[in-house]
Chain A
Amino acid sequence: MDFTIVDALLTSVIGILTVMAILAIIAVLIILVSKIIRKLESSVAKSEAVIGSEPAATASAGVPMPEGMNEGEVELVGTDEKTAAVIMALVSHNSGIPLNRLSFKSIKLLDEKGADTNGNG
């Protein structure tokens, strides 16, 4: 069977329409699925916010900052912010003093020799 130009033209028209239709269906599906997912995510976020609001209220009702005091600045020597935050949290936890009542002036990494001496001493 000969495949004529007319056949080729028809095949081409059907072909491009098929591609357009399939990709249009995918586009519509993306819009629908996105809407559903965003709705679900926002409802989950809302319920999480309700659960999380209690501890947040407790935290905000914690010990207020004494008058005339501010959060201040901590000098970090050889320590990154993440480690410093962990150290401050540990001190607060172990001492039982809330963080906003504690004042850190500096957090310094001791050198190997010093650390060793301290450890042995």
Chain B
Amino acid sequence: MEMVKDVLIGLWESSGFAALFVDGAFLWQNLVMILVAFVLLYFAIAKKCEPLLLVPIAFGILLANLPGAGLMDDPTGLMDTSNIVEGAHWYDTGVLRLIYAGVKSSIFPCLIFLGIGCMTDFGPLLSNPVSLLLGAAAQLGIYVAFVVAIALGFTPQEAASIAIIGGADGPTAIYLTGKLAGHLLGPIAVAAYSYMALIPFIQPPIMKLLTTKKERQVEMKQLRKVSKVEKIVFPVVVLVICAFILPSVAPLLGMLMLGNLFKECGVVDRLSDTAQNALMNIVTILLGLTVGATTNGATFLKAETLKIVVLGLMAFCFSTVGGLLLGKLLYAITGGKVNPLIGAAGVSAVPMAARVAQNEGRKYNPTNFLLMHAMGPNVAGVIGSAVAAGFLLSRFG
């Protein structure tokens, strides 16, 4: 009878229910985060909001907040020295914590960039190089959010990591935050990907506010055809120039341009196929899962997270404003040949932002076809946000 009692007590003590009570304190935060995971899973599956990312992220949140499961435990202090256990080995580390090493070491964001490079066609950018300026202007939000974050009391490293949300580029945000403020990775990644999914709702009101009907109706002339040689030379030239000016940008941009060279050179189809399909999918699972797993209730549910969410939204809005304002300037300079709406596509988020520009343009001129024109600033935004991250890293890294 005594043994049965011991077994039952042992079962209770090792259960997740008992683990919810630590030293008499109730870990309500974990339960809230489990609910958040359910809500995100609902949006991903039922509403199809960025499901490829949101499903692993939401599941990572769920796994990391299961009391007592220890999936993110770090007893040897590999990445977090706050809970070191005497005599523990590296293999006692939680399985998600081990996988998280790929985020912490920037392997995953770089591999994602390799896949993005394989999937990106820089043709529209090459046929209209002015698009690069639109991609640069659409990084405005990063710097506006940086100033406001400093004003709110964040450290420069934290402010830079929060501000990069305005680049609308998930891997870049994860890369920079992993280097500068790893403890903010969870809220920043969740905010960045959430806003990217919400672009069709965030951008149109700003586009409407800042442009006239006449500007939105502008039809742009057809882009010239870009030769294969130009497409092959482009990634090499861009990488060399950027890496010489800002060496800290080399890991991200290097992988992006390597992927693009795989795609364009036409002699490594197998590598290109692997990078943009199998490898990309594997890394997306691991990255999403471990980024979600960083959102431990006790550290995530703070007023600081709310500030990050608000600052991220602000950064996104100002990036859109920056692109639109330069678009308007180009409209004026060219005598109405540039539709300012394509400036809003400068906020990376490929190809969602370009699609928004296309849809908004067609609302006011059903015969207008802005997609390819918007793809130029859109892919320029990827380069722009990587350069912005490189600048912040060189300044605060």
Contacts and interface: CB of A to CB of B under 8 A. Distances in A.
A3 B384 contact: no
A31 B227 CA distance: 13
Contacts, number: 103
Size bin of chain A's contact surface:
20 to 34
A26 B132 contact: yes
B43 to A, nearest CB: 33
B147 A23 contact: no
Interface in A30-63: 30-31, 33-34, 37-38, 41
Contacts of B155: 3
Given A3-B150, A8-B147, A31-B129, 14 more contacts: A5-B151, A11-B395, A15-B391, A16-B143, A18-B246, A23-B387, A24-B136, A26-B129, A26-B237, A28-B129, A29-B237, A29-B241, A30-B129, A34-B126
Size bin of chain B's contact surface:
35 or more
> Which of A8, A9, A12, A23 counts the most B-chain CB atoms under 10 A from its CB?
A23
A109 interface: no
Given A3-B150, A8-B159, A12-B146, A26 B230 contact: no
B383 A15 contact: no
Nearest to B238: A26
A28 B237 CA distance: 12
B392 interface: yes
7 contacts: A12-B147, A15-B142, A15-B392, A16-B136, A16-B139, A26-B129, A30-B126
Interface class of chain A by DSSP: helix
B241 A26 contact: yes
Given A8-B147, A15-B392, A29-B241, A23 B159 contact: no
B265 to A, nearest CB: 15
B319 to A, nearest CB: 11
Report the 10 A-B pairs with minimum CB-CB distance, sorted nearest first: A12-B143, A8-B150, A27-B129, A23-B136, A23-B132, A30-B129, A27-B132, A20-B136, A8-B147, A3-B156
Contacts of A33: 230, 233-234, 237
A9 B144 CA distance: 8
Contacts of A38: 227
> Which of B136, B151, B380, B392 counts the most A-chain CB atoms under 10 A from its CB?
B136
Contacts of A11: 143, 146, 156, 395
B101 interface: no
A27 B376 CA distance: 12
A38 B151 CA distance: 51
B393 to A, nearest CB: 11
Contacts of A19: 136, 139, 384, 387-388, 391
Interface string B112-151: 0000000000000110011011011101101110110011
B242 A26 contact: yes
Nearest to A12: B143
A41 B136 contact: no
A38 B226 CA distance: 9
A37 B229 contact: yes
A48 to B, nearest CB: 15
A97 interface: no
Contacts of A34: 126, 129, 226, 230
B130 A27 contact: yes
